[in-house]
Chains A and B, each alone.
Chain A
Amino acid sequence: MRTSLGATTGRAARRLLSSAPALIGVLVFTFLLMRVLPGDPAVFFASGPNAGQAEIEAVRKQMGLDRPIPEQLLRYLGDVGTGQLGRSMTTGQPVMKDLRERLPASLELTFAALLIALTLSIPLGILAALRPGSAVDHGVRLLCSLGVCVPTFVSGLLLIYVFYYLLGFAPDPTGRLDVFAAAPPGITGFLLIDFALTGDWEGWRAAAAQLVLPAVTMALFVIAPLARITRASMLAVLGSDFIRTARSLGLSRTQIVVTYALRNAILPVLTIAGIVFSTMLGANVLVEKVFSWPGVASYALDALLSSDYAPVQGFVLLMAVIFVAVNLVVDLLYGLADPRVSIS
């Protein structure tokens, strides 16, 4: 590998730095968006529907909403600069703390779903590419279409109905852990990792069982783009000159398909996987709701419905940061997977 560690770090740092303007743009945009949306938080958070005008004004003053918008924006940016995302009016806790508690739940779910999706879609894509136009190819296409067509809340409910209600394989579809089970000490927040670290395999199995259904639900939805891109990319690579060379040299079929074709075809899959991951993290709110999963997306939705500015702004910022980070990771993986990517 020519890419020295120093060069890679330098490249990563440059990429992070260059994404700073975009992040600030996201901050300002969400801030303004929240102010434009209908709904007055002061009214909402005053004691009740019959709160007097004076009380509402007091709440407004306390929240700083009586000041001009530019001043509010500057204050907000200043707060974010010092690492404060404000306080949630709904939970009464700092948004930072809420997000930190809930992000691992979302991440764990999304990672699991992506893993399931990749392990299914890549082989399916390869199979389809090896025999284009065959029954296998059409079967994969049908499967993908189904996955995309059926909304996640429908497939989620369906899975619950079959595996929990009818067959009884799955545990209660409520949250990350059975209400009576003991949670592991919060080391990373990822239950599977924390259980593994403490050696509590009973707990690990319970957490995994809770995770399977929501993860599969999400995975079903993203198998299609991943399998399709794998197929297209594999088809292109299988038709290229160096595959013909490999065949002319008598290399084994496995080696041609895996070492020569797949390793070249995986690059576009990597890009799509990055995009899919970011999308899933934010868009899995339906799955989180169906399975009562305590993730960041459902948290943000609840906040939005109650005109609670700070959590929504915090959530959008978090998503933007994760998007930047995921792109950076994809970029670095690209550099590892393809020696032609320059270190510039």
Chain B
Amino acid sequence: MSPLLRIENLSVTFATRAGPIEALRGIDLTVGAGQTLGIVGESGSGKSVTAFATTRLLDRAGRIAGGRILFKGQDVSRLSGKEMQALHGAAISMIFQNPRAALNPIRTVGLQLADALRAHRDLSAAAARARALDLLKAVLIRDPERRLDAYPHELSGGMCQRVMIALAVACEPALLIADEPTTGLDVTTQKTVMDLLARIAAERGMAMILITHDLGLAAKYCGRVVVMERGRLVEEAAPGRLFAHPQHAYTKRLVAASPTPNSTLADLVGETRPAGSGIPAAPHPAPPRGTALLLEVQDLVKRYGNAAAVDGISLRMRPGESLGLVGESGSGKSTTSRLICRLIDPSEGTILFDGQSIGDVPARDFHRSELRRAIQIVFQDPNDSLNPRFSAFDSIAQPLKRLTGLRGAALRARVMESAERSGLGPDLIDRFPHQLSGGQKARIGIARAIAVRPRFLILDEPTAALDVSVQAMILHLLDLLRREDDLAFLFVSHDLNVVRMMCERTIVLQNGRVVEEGASETLFARPQSAYARELLAAIPHFDPGAPLAATA
């Protein structure tokens, strides 16, 4: 029996100003009816290009340069626009990253579902609406009757992705391609969305291609996984075998760099730690008791209108300590970090830094405070947090000039020193953000923060936008800097494994309140609150012997 999808020697090139770029260099893969294939790899590996080439949704600049894409024996790459339109949705569907942007913002969910249905079936408006309601029920949306008339902006990200799933399966396609379907969603939402997707695919006998950078996700939901690197397939196997005994050097690196419940920072970068590494993640010796507190936050509240984003949070940190702040989106972790670093003003509560009250200095004026130098922040998005018209040097030098008054040679020396300590070579220092990779931009953000020699660094999801191998290096770097400068870290992240490795103590937030607090090791090994347990259980792992949720 011929497989549902067979890709033979497919290559894709993109026309750019700098000449053609080969995004895919001859890949072969097959997916049988009802099977689930995972494609993993880092950004630029060509995994999304594979999906878009298969569905013929490549950008204008992209072109299939060679090879065949056989869907049910028919070469998709040679079909006309009309023929392709008949396949889209009815035979091959896609689910995209960033579900909110993937939905038409000014059309109701019900109408969009009806559009998808009526594109391939002869249905009356009323029948389409009834069918849309069934679909919303099938993707387990609460209160589906009301949601039919909702606009995407009225739904949460997880809800939007469920709607997207409903759209994709509306006309019962034989193949569903999910391109990073849960990136940007919380772990618990990720779990419900993925479980739903796996169940729907299984129920309807659909084959699925899951494209992801998260090895745990691929391991949990796929019967077979292929690894891509720079436009080529480097390895293909069942996930258990692939992740337990990776053969290719790249797969080995990728597997090593992915945080797991037991990995240490040293594991991630493939470093063999000197003797005595028996204790995982003991990054810093606890400072002696009785040291004066560096930070003391009491009953912090931040209200927006009637809703409290932060609802009475108290926490304390000693100098040189690292504290993790975890929770789902909307738990108030980012707001808390912004309140503490004085970018926004609290509605209530006190913030003491080094014994001085800083909560009552308006955020607008805090840049003039002596303590601005002491408290620095590294932002989440390395792209949006850099001025595109500033070179790396300018980005690092600007705050230095303001906060320390350094000029001329002294300024240059300090910038170069910070850049070098952050792993940014002197050859990169005059480049602009668009000439740098994500990891290099993240390093600028770090260099900028440590250049003024702060005592307290707030890290707001510093690696969320990075590939795992880059993340591993950045985490390692941050840990090193912390030891060298005796910095205190407030580490905000949704990735619990990362927090466990980076932080001695962890605070779990939910709805703006602290639900659990404790030493990271104990908290992650034996969570006390139901919420923390739920968060931990939702992380997809790739244990070699783990049973598969969806077997193909």
Contacts and interface: CB of A to CB of B under 8 A. Distances in A.
Interface in A292-309: none
Contacts of A240: 101
Interface string B87-126: 1111001101010011111110000000110011000000
Contact of A263 (B81, B106, B168): B106
Q: Which of A245, A247, A338, A339 gathers the greatest number of chain B CB atoms within 10 Å?
A: A245
A251 B104 contact: no
A240 B119 CA distance: 20
A264 B170 CA distance: 24
Contacts of B116: 249-251
Contacts of A337: 106
Contacts of A252: 85, 119
A246 B153 CA distance: 18
A130 to B, nearest CB: 11
Contact of A340 (B85, B119, B151): B151
A76 to B, nearest CB: 43
A250 B85 contact: yes
B106 A248 contact: no
A247 B90 CA distance: 12
A53 interface: no
A339 B103 CA distance: 14
A259 interface: yes
Contact of B88 (A241, A247, A259): A247
A244 interface: yes
B102 A249 contact: no
B167 interface: yes
Nearest to A248: B94
A242 interface: yes
Given A248-B94, A259-B107, A340 B101 contact: no
A245 B100 CA distance: 11
Interface in A225-249: 240-242, 244-249
B546 interface: no
Given A247-B57, A252-B85, A242 B102 contact: yes
B55 interface: yes
A195 to B, nearest CB: 38
Given A246-B104, A252-B85, A340-B151, A241 B96 contact: yes
B115 A248 contact: no
A248 B57 contact: yes
A249 B101 contact: no
Contacts, number: 83
B115 A242 contact: no
Nearest to A255: B115
A111 interface: no
B447 interface: no
A260 B171 CA distance: 20
B94 to A, nearest CB: 4
Contacts of B107: 259-260, 263
B120 A242 contact: no
Given A255-B115, A339-B153, A248 B89 contact: yes
Contacts of A242: 101-105
Contacts of A241: 96, 98, 101-102
B102 A250 contact: no
Contacts of A253: 81, 85
A339 B106 contact: yes
Nearest to A264: B106
B86 interface: yes
DSSP class of A's interface residues: helix, strand, loop or mixed? helix
B151 A249 contact: no
A285 B336 CA distance: 59
B17 to A, nearest CB: 14
A338 B106 contact: yes
Interface residue tally of chain B, by bracket? Answer: 20 to 34
Interface in B44-103: 55, 57, 81, 85-90, 93-94, 96, 98, 101-103
Q: Which of B103, B105, B106, B116 gathers the greatest number of chain A CB atoms within 10 Å?
A: B106
Contact of B115 (A244, A247, A259, A340): A259
Q: Which of A248, A253, A338 gathers the greatest number of chain B CB atoms within 10 Å?
A: A248
A245 B103 contact: yes
Given A339-B151, A339-B153, A249 B93 contact: yes
B164 interface: yes
A98 B443 CA distance: 70
A123 B85 CA distance: 24
A338 to B, nearest CB: 6
Nearest to B153: A340
A62 to B, nearest CB: 58
Contacts of B171: 249-250
A183 B101 CA distance: 56
Nearest to B101: A241
A264 B105 contact: yes
Given A241-B96, A242-B101, A250 B106 contact: no
A251 B119 contact: yes
A84 to B, nearest CB: 46
A297 B167 CA distance: 54
A253 B98 CA distance: 24
A253 B119 CA distance: 11
B6 to A, nearest CB: 21
A248 B85 CA distance: 8
B85 A245 contact: no
A73 to B, nearest CB: 40
A248 B104 CA distance: 13
Contact of A251 (B55, B101, B115): B115
A250 B90 contact: yes
A249 B106 contact: no
Contact of A245 (B90, B96, B151): B96
A252 B84 CA distance: 11
B115 A249 contact: yes
Contacts of A255: 115, 119
Contacts of B96: 241, 244-245, 248
A263 B164 CA distance: 20
Nearest to B84: A250
A19 to B, nearest CB: 26
Given A339-B151, A340-B106, A340-B151, A248 B88 contact: yes
A340 B105 CA distance: 8
29 contacts: A241-B101, A242-B101, A242-B104, A242-B105, A244-B96, A244-B102, A245-B96, A245-B102, A245-B104, A248-B89, A248-B96, A248-B168, A249-B88, A249-B93, A249-B171, A250-B86, A250-B87, A250-B90, A250-B119, A251-B85, A251-B115, A252-B85, A255-B115, A259-B115, A263-B106, A263-B107, A264-B104, A264-B106, A340-B153
Interface of B: 55, 57, 81, 85-90, 93-94, 96, 98, 101-107, 115-116, 119-120, 151, 153, 164, 167-168, 170-171
Q: Nearest 8 A-B pairs (CB), nearest first?
A: A250-B88, A250-B89, A249-B89, A241-B101, A248-B94, A249-B116, A242-B104, A339-B151
Given A251-B119, A260-B107, A263-B106, 6 more contacts: A244-B57, A244-B102, A248-B96, A249-B88, A250-B86, A263-B107
